[in-house]
Amino acid sequence: MTNRIAVVTGATGGLGTSMCQALVDQGRTVIGTHLPNEQATAQAQDWQQTMKSQGYAVELYPLDVADYEGCQAFVQQVEADHGPIDILVNNAGITSDAPLKRMEAGQWNRVIEVNLNSMFNMSRQVFEGMCERGFGRIVNISSLNGEKGQFGQCNYAATKAGIYGFTKSIALEGARKGVTVNAVSPGYIDTKMVRQVPEKVLDSIVAGIPVGRLGQPEEIARAVTFLTADEAGFVTGTNLSVNGGQYMD
């Protein structure tokens, strides 16, 4: 398989880690991003060392995906350091939950900026080059809650639903150029963040999943590597739901 440069935003979280590992196993040169603050940088350094000890060489760059000019500079730097980006996984995202009647404008705007604007900010930098070279894979990470909605998450659900329209539109633009664009919508996955949910709440969540368990990060990563494979050129403009049957559309 051709060695290709893959970028994963939000690389150091539970899902991002598994995606990076799976892409390395797929034979890719993997570049990850983390938030550009002191605490995140220190955590990223520890993460990088742990990954390296496990046999996964992933270079990390600081990046605020909500910053268009920052994304532009990041892509320019990665391509200067490593070569053209062939695979982009738009994984970075945040939550800031509240019922609509209590949601502040700042909560709404920041989630939109990070979860949805980032799709444009990053894809805009790599899409044209992918089309010119005749190969590209973009995978946008959405969510179960973008498909069905969720109480107290109108901002988050709106961004994750918006990803579908963005994905389908640019999939049409890249289809004849060898560039595929797809979405993956994870359900409830066994990550550190989910495990922090109170036990009774978590039990009720699992009870609503037909397969009877949380998903594993590796299961999302397998979906990503399926869609980023060189052989996946006939799959574009679609959403792959990985949710244990919790929502069937």
Q: Quick check: is 11 in a domain?
A: yes
Using only C-alpha atoms, the chain has a radius of gyration, in whole angstroms, of 17
SS3 215: strand
Rounded CA gap, 105 and 93, in Å?
18
For the full predicted model, state whether its pTM sits above 0.85.
yes
Active site residue 156: yes
Q: Quick check: is 209 in a domain?
A: no
Instruction: Provide the number of structural domains found in the chain.
Output: 1
Q: pLDDT tens for residues 7-35? A: 999 999 999 999 999 999 999 999 999 99
Give the sheet arrangement for strand 5-8, strand by strand. Answer: 59-62, 29-34, 5-8, 85-90, 136-141, 179-186, 239-242
**pLDDT value at residue 218:** 98
Q: Quick check: is 197 in a domain?
A: no
Q: Quick check: is 230 in a domain?
A: yes
Mean pLDDT (whole number) for 32-51: 95
Q: Tell me, what CATH number does 92's domain have?
A: 3.40.50.720
Kindly provide the residue ranges of all beta strands, DSSP E only, lying in the chain, ordered along the sequence. 5-8, 29-34, 59-62, 85-90, 136-141, 179-186, 239-242
Residue whose C-alpha is closest to residue 142's, from 131, 128, 153 = 153
Q: Pick the catalytic residue from 156, 164, 188, 247.
A: 156
Q: Quick check: is 135 in a domain?
A: yes
pLDDT bin (cut points 50, 70, 90) of residue 92 is very high
Q: Quick check: is 74 in a domain?
A: yes
